[in-house]
Structure 1
């Protein structure tokens, strides 16, 4: 596996200027810039996304308390939907997405 070539600062500036002046509709920099960026920040961003997703899932489950107090007549349905459908689907999705 080859080590990534990180361009010099003046080359980076030139590549960015060239990319900005082009009519590219692509939402990524050229590979020579994008690859080192992904290598440097990818693991940290993935970890943050995992933690924030877990936090959001916990907040979602806390709403069971509101369901219990505000709509007690359909609490069982909310319980089944939240714990029996949404939670397992979320866990499966998160584990398949973040497995690597």
Structure 2
């Protein structure tokens, strides 16, 4: 099981990867397989992070059997959060 620091890092990485991938187009997303590979996140931790982020209303997830994220997309709220983070960084 991932530590709290790892779990937070996974969530941030997922949001960042989605934001970068969609380039402002909310209709685009990423497969769970691609997220896991690109970010090197264990499957179980990816599912937990996606469940958390979906619960916060930041992403939507289409699930495959076995609790595996099939497609992950940012919500409007998720995009707004990432835009605010981008503005903070300048």
Tell me the TM-score normalized by structure 2: 0.31
Bigger share in strand: 2
Tell me the TM-score normalized by structure 1: 0.28
- Which of structures 1 and 2 has the bigger CA Rg? 1
